[in-house]
Amino acid sequence: MGKIAFVFPGQGSQIVGMGKELADANKRVQEIFAKADESLHEDLTEIIFNGPQEKLTLTVNAQPALLTTSIAILEIFKEANITPDFVAGHSLGEYTALVAAGAISFEDAVTTVRKRGELMEEAVPAGLGTMAAILGMESDELRLVTEQVSMNGEAVQLANINCPGQIVISGTTGGVEAACGLAKEKGAKRAIPLEVSGPFHSVLMEPASGKLRDALDSIEIKDARIPVIANVNAKEMISSDIIKENLINQLFSPVLWQTSVEYMLDQGVDTFIEIGPGKVLSGLVKKVNRRVNTYAISDLETLQNTINALKEVD
């Protein structure tokens, strides 16, 4: 059997009711949600299970909610003694991956991503920054587009290089709009504005990095027990010092998701398990390499079927 990677989704995958079915069926899952509430001194579980969606989607709620739900699902894999060879997470999901790798405790992670969400919200006043997905254009071509727009005084850059032909750009609202128009002129198939509260993974987030460093300095970060593939450079990170610097840089640097997947494929990974709501990462992995096995864990039945399938192969 080839190697297994656990991958964890980022902001945007949240949905009201995520994890509830699992919590109703499993005591260890219930305990994870209870720990989140205790760590944050509020009833996050109520927002996750019952919404409303608008409240769950707020950055300060979505980030700890997604981390909590993913770690709750991970508990079932632990019970089944299924461990990955690599872990990786998309943006916020990198914190979940670090919990899975034993580098950060769940309690510290949930409070840190709540703080991260607050800092991201504060970094740029509402309406001044945004993001858009550009389809059907390669990164080198799109980089030239963003550089051309930036030379005219509007900040815009590549933010998420997700898979061939799907890249997210981020920057000032004017910069993103101008880059969308120019990209379409240069042959991009589509430019889709994203419903986000700020220009994440752009230099406009840099003002938040000092306060994020303070937050990371206040928690214990250990060396990872499983290699974590870093968003910022698509390389393995094990050392606690490197983990901290990468998390700070991740705030204002592009997420190199395609390169991260390619690296894991090169290391012999042939099975990617998306742990958390939705199927976004599974879809991106398939666009990088159609032949790999992907599993997206969305409910109790999918979870049990995945565990059974993995045990049969093993």
What confidence tens digit (pLDDT) does each residue in 38-89 have? 999 999 999 999 999 999 999 999 999 999 999 999 999 999 999 999 999 9
Stated length of the chain: 314
Position 183 confidence tier, pLDDT thresholds 50, 70, 90: very high
Q: How far apart are the first and last CA of the chain?
A: 7
CA dihedral 190, 130, 273, 32 (to 10 degrees): -150
Q: In what order do the strands lie in the sheet with 156-163?
A: 156-163, 166-172, 129-135, 190-193
* Band of residue 35 on the pLDDT scale cut at 50, 70, 90: very high
The predicted-structure confidence for 114-139, as pLDDT tens digits, reads as follows 999 999 989 998 889 999 999 999 99
* Mean pLDDT calculated for residue range 269-291: 97
Question: What is the arithmetic mean of pLDDT over 98-118?
Answer: 98
Sheet strand arrangement including 3-8: 236-237, 228-229, 86-89, 3-8, 269-275, 293-297
Q: What is the pLDDT of residue 125?
A: 87
Write down the catalytic residue from 13, 39, 70, 91. Answer: 91
Three-state secondary structure call for residue 174? helix
Q: Say if residues 113 and 95 touch (Cβ distance below 8 Å).
A: yes
- pLDDT, average across residues 208-229: 98
pTM of the model: 0.96
Distance CA 207, CA 248 (A): 11
Catalytic residue check, 298: no
Rounded to the nearest 5 degrees, what angle is found at the Cα of 96, between the Cα atoms of 271 and 19? Answer: 85
**What's the CA gap between 101 and 85, in Å, rounded?**
10
Q: Is 105 a catalytic residue?
A: no
Q: Is the pLDDT of residue 202 over 70?
A: yes
Domain annotation for the chain: domains and CATH numbers: 3-123+205-313 (3.40.366.10), 129-196 (3.30.70.250)
What is the per-residue pLDDT for 1?
Answer: 63
pLDDT of residue 313: 75
Q: Please pick, among 39, 150, 201, 260, the residue that the annotation labels catalytic.
A: 201
